[in-house]
Amino acid sequence: MPVRSPYPDVEIPEVSLFDFLFGDFGDRADAPALIDGTSGATITFAELEGMVVKIAAALAERGVVAGDVVGIFAPNTPYYPAVFHGILRANAIVTSANSLYTPGELAHQLIDSGAKMLFTISPFLERATEAVTQAGLSADVIVVLDAADGVASLRDLLATTAEPPTQIVTAGDTAVLPYSSGTTGRAKGVILTHRNLVANLAQLEPVFRVTAESKILAVLPFFHIYGMTVMMNNGLHKRSTVITMPRFDLAEFLRIVSENEIDYVYIAPPVAVALAKHPMIDQFDLSCIEVIFSGAAPLDAELGRAVAQRLGCRVLQGYGMTELSPVSHAMPEDRPEMDLNSVGLALPNIDCKLVDPETGEEVGPGGRGELWVKGPNVMSGYLNNPEATAFTLDAEGYLHTGDVATVTEDGVFTIVDRVKELIKYKGYQVPPAELEALLLTHAKIADVAVIGVKDHEGEEVPKAFVVRQESGADLTADDVMTFVAERLAPHKKVRAVEFIDQIPKSASGKILRKDLRAREAATT
C-alpha cells in the first residue's frame, strides 16, 4: 500500500516560476532580497525584479527565443538569481553547471543541453572559453557577471533600453536542466518544469517556517537543486533575505553568520562535522542560529545532536534529489521528538512506496525497501536519455530513487542506504552509511567514507577511507577496525582501512564513491 503524506494536499498554482515568485512585494519591495556575504553589497526585491526584466530584454535582443537553453557557470553571488530568473523571464531554459567542472565536463553539458549562451565570472573565463570552443560555440556567447576585457558583461546587458519579450511559457514548459551529480555514471540532464519547481515551493510551506524576517545563509551552491530551490527560490518566495557565499570557508562562514545574525542555515553533513568538532566555532557568537537544516546526504543523529547542543539550535534533516525538484521528505520544525536519524515525513501531495529491490514486492512499516516517490515535483525525465528515464520513472509515475528506506506506522521515513552501494559480505547486506555514521563519532576521525572492495579470497568486504583529526595522528588502522568491531555485528566489521587527506565529495556533499573505487582499482 502506498504511504500518503500525512499533510493535506496544497494547491499548486498553474503559473510560471517567475509569476509565482515576482509581483507585488508590498512593504518588502525596498527590503534586502540578497546580500553578498563577502562584500555586504545588497540587492532589494524591487531592484532584483528590475534586473530580471532588463536581462530578459537583453537576451531577446541577442537572439534568445522561447525554448532556448542558456547556461550559468558561476558560484553563488547576488547576481546569480537575477540571471537565473532573467533567463526564465525571456521564455528560455536554465542549465546550471557545477562551478568545479573541468572544461570537458562543462562542454559535455553545453552540448547535451543544446545551450546557446553561457554566463560565468572572470576567474572561470579560461575554463568557460575552452568549454564553449569544445562545444562548437563562438567565444562571444559568453557573458561575465563581473568584468573582463573583450567580454560582454552583465552590466552591458543591464544597460539595454529594449522591452522584455511577451511571456509565453506555461506551467508545463521546461524551466531548468540541472545535471545530476554523476555519482553513478555520466551526468544526466534532469528536465524540471515550471510546475515542478512551483509545486516544490508550495509543498515546503507547511514544513519550513521561513518568514519575511528570516535571514537565510546560502553557502550551498545555487547550481545544485538544493541551493536553487530551498535557498534561492524559497527565499524569494517567502520574501526572506538570502546571504550568499561563493564557497565554503569555515572562518568566513562563521563570520558571516555572526555579523549578519543569520537564523536559518542550510548545510550538507560535512559542514555539520566542522560545527560539531572544530575549535574555531567557540570564537564566534552563533546564538542567532535557530535552525540548521541538513540535506543532500544522510546526517547521523549523534552528530546532529552534537551540533544542536553546541550551538543551542534545532537541527533537522530531510531528503530529496535533483529528480524531485528536490525535496520529498523533511523533518517538520514542530516535531522535536522525531528521530534525527530519520528524514521526516513525506511532503504534501506525495505518495511513497517501499519496494524490495530483489523481489519487487512492496514492504510495510519496519521493512527495508527502495523508496519510490510520486508527486507533482517529480521530473519529466532525463534529457535525450529515454533508457535512463524508463529505468527511473515507471508507468504509474513513481520515481525509483535508488535509496533504501524504512518507514514507521506514523509515516516517518529513514534512509538506510543506497541500493547500489550496499556491500554484500557472505550474503549479508552491510550499509556503508551505518559504518560511516558510527566512525564519525570517533574523536580522532574528521571524516570517513566506506566502500566494498575485494579481499584476497574475492569476497566483498567493507573498506574505510579515513581522514584523521589534527589530534589523531596516532590513530591506526587497527584502532579503526576495533572501534567498529566492538559496536556492530561481526558481518559489519571494517576489514580494511586507508588514511587519506580528504574524502572526495560533490558540491552538494555527497560522497563520490566512484572516485574511491577508481582509486582502489588503480592500486590493485
Q: Which of 73, 266, 269 is CA-nearest to residue 178? A: 73
Q: Is 290:314 a contact under the CB 8 Å cutoff? A: yes
Cell 566512484 identifies what position? 514
pLDDT of residue 182: 36
- Indicate the average pLDDT of the chain: 93
| Chain centre to alpha carbon of residue 436 | 20
Cell 523571464 identifies what position? 89
- Euclidean distance between CA atoms 233 and 215, whole angstroms: 14
pLDDT above 80 for 457: no
Mean pLDDT for 81-104 is: 95
DSSP structure class, residue 284:
S
pLDDT above 80 for 323: yes
DSSP-assigned letters across all residues of 1-23:
-PEEPSSPP-----S-HHHHHSS
Based on its alpha-carbon atoms, the radius of gyration of the chain, rounded to whole angstroms, reads 23
Q: Which of 228, 217, 194 is CA-nearest to residue 89? A: 194
pLDDT above 80 for 185: no
Q: State the pairing for strand pair 428-430/445-454.
A: unpaired
Q: Domains (ranges, CATH) in the chain?
A: 423-522 (3.30.300.30)
Mean pLDDT for 489-505 is: 92
pLDDT tens string 419-433: 777 787 876 778 888
Q: Comparing 181-190, 336-345, 469-478, which segment has the lowest mean pLDDT? A: 181-190
pLDDT tens string 210-221: 999 999 999 999
pLDDT of residue 94: 98
DSSP-assigned letters across all residues of 21-46:
HSS--GGGTTSEEEEETTT--EEEHH
Distances from the Cα of 362 to the Cαs of 66, 83, 129, in angstroms? 43, 44, 50
pLDDT tens string 237-296: 999 999 999 999 999 999 999 999 999 999 988 789 889 989 999 999 999 999 999 987
Q: Bridge partners of 152?
A: 143
Mean pLDDT for 320-347 is: 93
pLDDT of residue 184: 45
- Euclidean distance between CA atoms 347 and 472, whole angstroms: 41
pLDDT of residue 456: 80
Cell 565554503 identifies what position? 248
- Euclidean distance between CA atoms 275 and 271, whole angstroms: 6
pLDDT-based confidence at 489, cuts 50/70/90?
confident
Mean pLDDT for 339-345 is: 95
- Euclidean distance between CA atoms 13 and 453, whole angstroms: 49
Q: Is 488:475 a contact under the CB 8 Å cutoff? A: no
pLDDT of residue 433: 85
- Report phi then psi at 140, rounded to 5: -80, 5
Distances from the Cα of 355 to the Cαs of 1, 80, 358, 433, 491, in angstroms? 10, 40, 9, 20, 24
DSSP structure class, residue 179:
B
Cell numbers that stand for 429 in this block = 547486506
- Euclidean distance between CA atoms 487 and 482, whole angstroms: 9
- Euclidean distance between CA atoms 394 and 357, whole angstroms: 14
Identify residue 236 by its one-letter amino acid code: L
Distances from the Cα of 261 to the Cαs of 1, 37, 213, 355, in angstroms? 46, 12, 11, 44
Distance between the two ends of the chain, CA-based, in angstroms? 46
Positions of E strands within 306-347: 314-320, 327-330, 345-346
pLDDT-based confidence at 465, cuts 50/70/90?
very high
Q: Which of 145, 126, 127, 11 is CA-nearest to residue 77? A: 145
Cell numbers that stand for 440 in this block = 564519525
Q: Which of 339, 364, 360, 354 is CA-nearest to residue 405? A: 354
pLDDT above 90 for 509: no
Cell numbers that stand for 259 in this block = 555579523
Percent residues over pLDDT 70 in the chain: 98
Distances from the Cα of 404 to the Cαs of 36, 358, 369, in angstroms? 39, 12, 5
pLDDT above 50 for 201: yes
Q: Is 350:319 a contact under the CB 8 Å cutoff? A: no
Q: Which of 271, 236, 224, 218 is CA-nearest to residue 36? A: 218
pLDDT of residue 183: 35
Handedness of CA 123, 125, 503, 37 (dihedral sign): positive
pLDDT of residue 427: 65
Mean pLDDT for 72-91 is: 98
Identify residue 132 by its one-letter amino acid code: V
pLDDT of residue 455: 85
